[in-house]
Structure 1
Amino acid sequence: MSLPAPQEHQDALRSADLSELLGHVHTCWDNERRSLSRQLHDSLGSSLTALTMHLGLLMQKMPQEPALQDRAAHMKQLLMQIVETNRQMQLKLWNDKLEFLGVRVALGELVEQFGEQHKIVARCSLPDDELDCPRSHGIVLLHTLEEALRNITAHAKATEVDVIVDDNEDEVMLTVKDNGVGLGAPTAATLGQAGGKYGLRMARERAAYLGGTLTLAAGAEGGVVLTMILPKPVNAL
């Protein structure tokens, strides 16, 4: 058996090093986002809750003058908007459901909220029990589903989406199907190319770091099918 040429060997080592570096960057990024989300919740969130309570008590003691009551009501409305903005920022940084309720609930609620927000029929098929996989796999599954749904909203013009998660002894598989315009349309032609949509490209690299794959294919009845397969480590959990 012939040995690989020196340049090919160097290229392979460089590719492996870059993959490992990218995986490390993603892990650090995830940890930083989680930390920032917790800070927003613990510090800013607590302060906003306290302000809401103090404002409520103050409004009870205020003179019943229309001008004062209107100003106080306006202040309360602005405060509630800030509370909601803070909550949305926390969610965008890190989905706490992943930590406290598990990846199964996080995936299911993400699909449900997506359907309600975008008025799309969104179906989700999940295992009956919590997924038997490491935390790192759950994070990649959730981020990939988020990116897939973003792409469907931006490019697919779909009216129906199916999300299927299969959990077996050796691997976890995520499948996202839509009935949109498909890969052949100009607006979606670059979805499966390495230089196309960076979000899906990053998801593919994250899957590769865990030894898995991410593929995009045309659906049998139109639309696009995204499939991510993540093998389980031998000592998972």
Structure 2
Amino acid sequence: MSMAATTAAQRAAAASERARLARELHDSVAKTLRGISFAALALPASLRRQPDLAEQLALTVSTGADTAVRESRELLAALRRDVPDRPFIDTVRMVCDAWQHSSGIRIELVAVAAEPPLAARYELAQILYEALRNVAAHARATLVMVRLAAAAGTLELSVRDNGIGFAVPEDLTVLSVAGSFGIVGMRERAQAAGGTLDIRSRPGAGTELVVRTPALSADAPSRTVNR
């Protein structure tokens, strides 16, 4: 690769990282801080006229500040989860190893050295993290199978567990109405990565989540890592 092409690629990567960070900040911390600001502006007048309301607003400010701190920490952890100049298979392995260690649930990983586009890497790492977190919280599983594969220019990441499963609604937005935002958020991330997300599950039969995005390359045979 020529020096000009290398420089252009580095600039494109930096621009993508800035856009990604801006989007994450807007979707989490900025919204929380906006709510804190509104509550703080209303607080002085309420102190004089409605002490009970002032107490509620003060609690809102305090709770919002705690939420903003938590969201900031989660965002920083997410940004560290994937390093763009590291092979993506290493990111997948790292997420799986950390989750298995914290959850105590066994993971079988089958993966190829497939590389998604730069803009998709972060979203895929987050989807994997969120999918595993959902398994730990809801599935009552004893085994999770994670598969990273690529063929015909498409990368496929799947997470399948042997847990209790659930009835998947035809319209996934129903889940957000019911207070389950995780799957809806993962689907939005898949769309942001230029791909799709499918959920396959039924009660008593486990759950499989499959994400498909464009792939840049796949240049190594798959290998299974039993943990």
Q: Same fold (TM over 0.5)?
A: yes
Amino acid at match of 1:104: I
Report sequence identity in percent. Answer: 23
Shift of 1:98: 2.4
Task: Tell me the alpha carbon deviations over residues 137-189 of structure 1, each in whole angstroms, 9 at most, x when there is no partner.
Answer: 211110100110111111101110010011223111111000101014xxxx6
Query: Out of 121, 128, 131, which is 2:106 matched to?
Result: 121
Distance 1:169 1:220, change over 3 A: farther
Note the 1:111-190 alignment, pairs <5 A.
111-127=96-112, 129=113, 131-184=114-167
4+ aligned runs moved over 3 Å, structure 1: 24-27, 30-33, 88-91, 189-192
Q: What CA distance in whole angstroms lies between the structure 1 residues aligned with 2:116 and 2:154?
A: 8
Q: CA deviation at 1:31?
A: 7.7
Q: Please, which runs of 5 or more residues in structure 2 have no aligned partner? A: 1-17, 28-72, 217-227
Q: Deviations over 1:2-28 (max 9, x none)?
A: xxxxxxxxxxxxxxxxxxxxxx98662
Distance 1:155 1:96, change over 3 A: closer
Which residue, 83, 92, 106 being the options, matches 1:98? Answer: 83
Counterpart for residue 29 of structure 1 = 23
The structure carrying a bigger strand percent of its residues is 2
Structure 1 residues 27 and 192, CA, compared in 2 at 3 Å: closer, same or farther?
A: farther
- Please show how residues 196-215 of structure 1 align to structure 2 within 5 Å: 196=175, 197-215=180-198
Return the alpha-carbon distance in structure 1 between the equivalents of residues 106 and 170 of structure 2: 22
Structure 1 residue 113 displacement after superposition: 1.5
Contact 2:163 2:204 survives alignment (8 Å): no
Displacement of 1:198: 1.6
**Partner residue of 2:173?**
194
TM-score using structure 2 length: 0.56
Gaps of 5+ in 1: 1-23, 34-87
**3-state secondary structure, aligned to 1:140:** helix
Aligned-residue offset at 1:29: 2.8
Distance in 1 separating the partners of 2:79 and 2:19:
16
TM-score in terms of structure 1 length:
0.54
2:205 to 202, 218, 222: 222
SS in 1 for 2:121: helix
| Equivalent position SS for 2:208 | strand
Shift of 1:104: 1.3
> Which runs of structure 2 are paired with 1:1-80 in the superposition (5 Å)?
28-30=22-24
What's the CA shift string for 1:194-223, capped at 9, x where partnerless?
232322212212222343210111279820
CA apart distance, 1:192: 7.5
* CA distance in 2 between partners of 1:28 and 1:113 (Å): 26
Change (3 A) 1:191 1:146: farther
The amino acid across from 2:186 in the alignment is: A
Do 1:177 and 1:223's aligned partners in 2 also have CA atoms closer than 8 Å? yes
Deviations 1:52-110 (A, max 9, x none): xxxxxxxxxxxxxxxxxxxxxxxxxxxxxxxxxxxx86862422542342321111111
Work out whether residues 183 and 217 of structure 1, in 8 Å CA contact, stay in contact via their aligned partners in 2.
Answer: no
State the aligned residue count.
Answer: 150
